[in-house]
A and B are shown apart, each in its own frame.
Chain A
Amino acid sequence: MTALLNFMEGSGNPKMPASQPWPEDVILYQQYQVEQITLPDYSQCLAVEAFLRMSGLLFRVEQRTNAADMSPTGKVPFIQVGSQLIAEFEPVAAFVASKGFGLSKDLPEESVAEMRAYISMLDNILSNAEHYVAWLVPEVVAEVTKPRYGCAYPWPLNWLLPWLRQREVRNFLTVKDWASKSLEEVVAEVKTCFRALSEKLGKNKYFLGTSPTELDAVVFGHLYTLQMTKLPGSPFCAVTKEYENLINFTKRIESTFFF
C-alpha cells in the first residue's frame, strides 16, 4: 500500500518545488540483463537508463530476478528514491523534471508536442512489435523468450510463469488489434516507424535541437535493442540495416553516454 501511495506521488502531478538537489542513493531496478530480461522489457530499461545518463544524474543499477514483482505497476524498470518507487519511463521523466533536471524544459511548445507524439509512436508501434515478436512468434517464444523468462525459477514454475505471461501479452495485443496481424504486417509497421524516425532525424545530431531530449532516450532504447538482439529468423534485421543515420545515431549515443 505504501508503495502504491508513493507511486501516486511520483506519477501524479508532482507539486514539489523545482531545483532540489538530486538525492544521493537512487537505484534503478531491472532484471538480469544477460540471462533473464526479455526483448520488450530490455528496451524500456535501456530507455530509462539512457534518460538518466543524459540528464547527468547519479544512480546505480541493481539487477534482481523478481524486479517485475517489486515494481509498483508490475512493469520494469523502476527507480527507488529514498522511500519512493517510480516505475516506467513517463513517470520517471516527470519526477526528474519536477526536481529541475528535465531535458525538455527549454523546448518551445510545438517541439514538446512533436516529442510526445514521436514517443507515443514508439510506444504504440515498436513496443507492440517487440511484444509480438517476443511472445507470439513460435520459434522465438520456444528458443528465446520462454527459457529466458523462466530461467530464475525451478520446475514447474519455469514452465507455468512464462505460459501465464504469454497469455497476458496475447490478451494485450488482441485488444490493440495486433494479435491478428501476420509477421510481415508487423515488419511493415516497424518499417513505417523507422522511415518516420529517419526522416525526423535527418542529418541532425539529436532529434530536437542540439541537445538530447526524452525522445532520444526512448529511440535509443528501442533501436539498440532491435539492432543488438539476435533472434531466430532475425525478422527485423533488414529493416534496422536500411537506415544509415539511425545506425549512426545509436552508435553515437552509446559512445557519448554509456562509457
Chain B
Amino acid sequence: MAAEKMKLDVWKGDWGLPSVDPHCLAVLAYCKYSGVPVEVNKTGNPWSSPTGNFPVLRHRGETYCKITDIFNYLRKEHWGSDFELSTKQSADVVAFSALLEEKLLPALLHLWWMDDKTFIDVTRPWYSRAIPFPLSLFLPGRTQKKAELRVNLTKGGENISEMETETKVYKEAKECLNLLSYKLGEKQYMFGRLPSSLDALVFGYLAPLLKAPLPNNQLHNHLLQCENLCRMVNDVLVTFFPADLREMEEKQKKEEQQRARTSSSENSEFPNRRRNMVLAGFFALSAMAVYAWTSGLIQIQISDLDPAPSPAPSTTRKAQAVKGEEN
C-alpha cells in the first residue's frame, strides 16, 4: 500500500514566521529537520480541530493534538534526528523540555494572554482576524481564560497576589533563557551539529518572542541580550523557512512603497490631512451658521438692492431688443 501522506494543520504565520504558535512552530521545525513528508495546511479556522487548537497531525485515520503525542508518533515512525543522540543526551532532551514547559511557557502565556497591553494590541486583533466570524467571538476569550487558569494555579496561590505571581513568572523565564544560553554555548545546535527535538521546541518558544511586534517587553529585551539564542533562531528561519522570510520581505517592500506613495505629503500617519482639516472647518462653520440662523441670531432677508423697476419700460426695452434683432 502506498504510504499515505501525513497531514498537519497549524495556525497561520505572520511577521516572517511560518506560524505564530510556539507548538505549531516546534512541530514544523521538527518535520523540516528530518524531512518528514508532511502536507502542511496553514489555517486560522479551528473548526475541524478536536480541541479547538493547533497543531493537529492526521495520519492513517488517527489524530494527534498534543505536541508530546506528535513527537512520540513521529519518533515511532522513525522520523527525526533524536536517534543520533547518545542515551545521556536523550536524558538531557527530556530534562530541558521539562524546563521549557515549567519555566518559559507560563511567562509566554502571561505575555500573550494576560499582559493587558500585548493582549489588546497584538494577540486579540491577530486572532480575531485569523479566526472566521462566529468562532472569533469566543475562542480568544476561552484561550485567555485557560492561560490565566494555568498560570495562576501553577505559579500563584491563594496567599499570593497577582503582582507577585507576575514577578515570579518573568524572573523564572529570564533565568530559563540564561540557562538555555549556557547550554547552547557556541555550538550550532544544543547537541552539536544535528538539530534534535529539543532544538525544535526551543525554536518554537523563542521565535515568536523574537519576531512579533511586541510593545516594549522585558522578556523580549532579555532575549536580545542572549545573542547565541537569537543567532540560532535566525539560522533556523533562514535555513529551513526561507519562503516565509521572503514573503515578509515582499510584504514589507509593498508596504514601504505604499507608504512612500502616500507620504509625499508631510505626515504619513495621517494621509489627506489638509483635506480633512478643510472639510472639518467647513462643517463647523456651516453648523454654526445653521444654528445662528435657526435661533434667530442672524436673519436673512432676500430682497433686491435696487427698487423694483416698473414692468412697463422693461417690456418696451425687450420689444426694442427684439426689433433690433430683426433688423
**Residues of A in contact with B (beta carbons under 8 Å apart):** 4, 8, 11-13, 72-75, 109-110, 112-114, 116-118, 120-121, 123-125, 171-172, 175-177, 192-193, 195-197, 199-200, 202
Contact = CB atoms under 8 A, between A and B. Distances in A.
Interface of B: 66, 87-88, 90-92, 94-96, 98-99, 101-103, 146, 149-150, 153-154, 157-160, 164, 167-168, 171, 175-176, 179-180, 182-183, 185
Given A121-B99, A172-B154, A175-B150, A116 B88 contact: no
A120 to B, nearest CB: 4
Given A74-B157, A199-B87, A124 B101 contact: yes
A175 B159 contact: no
20 contacts: A11-B168, A73-B157, A73-B160, A75-B157, A110-B183, A113-B182, A114-B183, A116-B175, A116-B176, A116-B179, A117-B98, A120-B95, A120-B103, A124-B102, A172-B153, A172-B154, A175-B146, A176-B150, A196-B94, A200-B95
A28 B325 CA distance: 124
A117 B185 CA distance: 16
Contacts of A202: 88
Contacts, number: 83
Contacts of B175: 116
Given A8-B164, A113-B182, A175-B150, A199 B88 contact: yes
Given A117-B92, A175-B146, A199-B90, A112 B153 contact: no
Contacts of B176: 116
Contacts of B103: 120
A73 B164 CA distance: 12
A110 B185 contact: yes
Contact of B159 (A72, A112, A195): A72
A118 to B, nearest CB: 5
Contacts of A192: 94
Contact of A124 (B87, B98, B146, B182): B98
Nearest to A215: B95
Contacts of B91: 195-197, 199-200
Given A175-B154, A200-B88, 20 more contacts: A8-B164, A12-B167, A75-B157, A113-B179, A116-B176, A116-B179, A117-B92, A117-B99, A117-B179, A118-B95, A120-B98, A120-B101, A120-B103, A121-B95, A125-B98, A172-B153, A175-B146, A176-B154, A199-B87, A202-B88
B66 A123 contact: no
Interface of B is mostly: helix
Nearest to B146: A175
Contact of B96 (A112, A117, A199): A117
B183 A123 contact: no
A112 B98 contact: no
Contacts of B88: 199-200, 202
A123 B66 CA distance: 20
A117 B175 CA distance: 11
A93 to B, nearest CB: 13
B191 to A, nearest CB: 12
4 closest A-B pairs (Cβ-Cβ)? A196-B91, A121-B98, A113-B179, A117-B95
B314 to A, nearest CB: 95
A213 to B, nearest CB: 14
A192 B97 CA distance: 13
Given A117-B95, A196-B90, A112 B182 contact: yes
Contacts of B164: 8
Contacts of B168: 11
B179 A112 contact: yes
B251 to A, nearest CB: 36
A109 B98 CA distance: 19
Contacts of B150: 175-176
A200 B90 CA distance: 10
A120 B180 contact: no
Contacts of A118: 95
Nearest to A91: B168
A123 to B, nearest CB: 6
Contacts of B185: 110
Which of B150, B167, B182: most chain A CB closer than 10 A?
A: B182
A175 B153 contact: yes
A193 B92 contact: no
A11 B96 CA distance: 23
B73 to A, nearest CB: 14
Nearest to A198: B91
Contacts of A11: 168
A196 B87 CA distance: 8
Contacts of A200: 88, 91-92, 95
A11 B159 CA distance: 14
A134 to B, nearest CB: 17
Contact of A116 (B94, B99, B157, B167): B99
Contacts of B149: 171, 175
Which of B90, B171, B183, B185: most chain A CB closer than 10 A?
A: B183
